[in-house]
Amino acid sequence: MAKLQVAIDLLRIEDAIALATKVSPYIDIIELGTPLIKSEGLSGIRKMKDAFPDKLVLADLKTADAGELEADMAFGAGADYITVLGATGDATIAGAVKSAKAHGKGIVVDTIGVKDRVKRAQEAIALGAEFVELHAGLDEQAEEGYSIQVLIDEAARAGVPVSIAGGVNLGSITAVKQSGVTVAVAGAAIYGAEDPTQAAKELKELLEA
Ligand SMILES: O=C([C@H](O)CO)[C@H](O)[C@H](O)COP(=O)(O)O
């Protein structure tokens, strides 16, 4: 069954932990979004893992270089997964994978900005990534004509473990699930909801239906 990941794009770790506290019964992976990491640093990762020792914590580092070093830093702070950019070189992904193996953790390759996401996903899995995020970031989502359907179609033909991020919500999660994803990532649909707990509950129910 696909896992549900909440992407927390808030800026204060106290707010992020408060949100995670509300939604955690329905969440498999708690993601500290890139703006949150930039705001709070490694100590934010440590605080989140200390608050939720039984949950998987993903640090959305979007590492672009020094893969092994940055992965070591985040795993040392308690992360279970970090993201590395698919747009970067194979050596950066391989370095991060080396660190993940040493720590017993996992690498997620983020295809944000990559032209051929499916091809890069297949390459990233061959390099040792645990799964690949087919991702349209917040700026791409804001472009005219954006549709999550592109990611859903790519997931269905990827043939490797993938997540989808970029507009997963109550209206799209069933199609996301049917595409065969390993993980569905929901950010604004949860942290921006009037009732985040209810939103997370409904998303989880649809994923499990
Ligand atoms: O990863 C993200 C972005 O790069 C900022 O960190 C978002 O969390 C991700 O795109 C989730 O998107 P929504 O579910 O559409 O909020």
| 85: enclosing H helix or E strand | strand 81-85
Torsions phi, psi for 31 (to 5 deg): -100, 125
Burial of 144 (0-12, 13-18, 19+ CB in 10 A): exposed
pLDDT for residue 153: 98
pLDDT for residue 125: 98
Ligand 1: does its nearest atom lie under 6 Å from the Cβ of 94?
no
Cα–Cα distance measured from residue 53 to residue 33, given in angstroms and rounded to the nearest whole number: 18
pLDDT for residue 164: 98
pTM of the entire predicted model: 0.97
Ligand 1: does its nearest atom lie under 6 Å from the Cβ of 138?
yes
Buried b (16+ CB within 10 A) or exposed e, 185-199: bbbebbbebeebbeb
Ligand 1: which atom is nearest the Cα of residue 110? 1
pLDDT for residue 18: 98
CA-nearest of 59, 71, 63 to 101 is 71
CB 64 within 8 A of CB 92: yes
CB 179 within 8 A of CB 165: no
Each residue's pLDDT expressed in tens, for the chain with a length of 209 residues: 999 999 999 999 999 999 999 999 999 999 999 999 999 999 999 999 999 999 999 999 999 999 999 999 999 999 999 999 999 999 999 999 999 999 999 999 999 999 999 999 999 999 999 999 999 988 999 999 999 999 999 999 999 999 999 999 999 999 999 999 999 999 999 999 999 999 999 999 999 99
Of how many residues is the chain composed?
209
pLDDT for residue 51: 98
| 81: enclosing H helix or E strand | strand 81-85
How far does the centroid of ligand 1 lie from the alpha carbon of residue 174, in Å? 19
How far does the centroid of ligand 1 lie from the alpha carbon of residue 90, in Å? 24
pLDDT for residue 151: 97
- Residue corresponding to tokens 């992407």: 7
For each of the domains in the chain, give its residue range(s) and CATH number, in order of start.
Answer: 3-208 (3.20.20.70)
Cα–Cα distance measured from residue 74 to residue 46, given in angstroms and rounded to the nearest whole number: 9
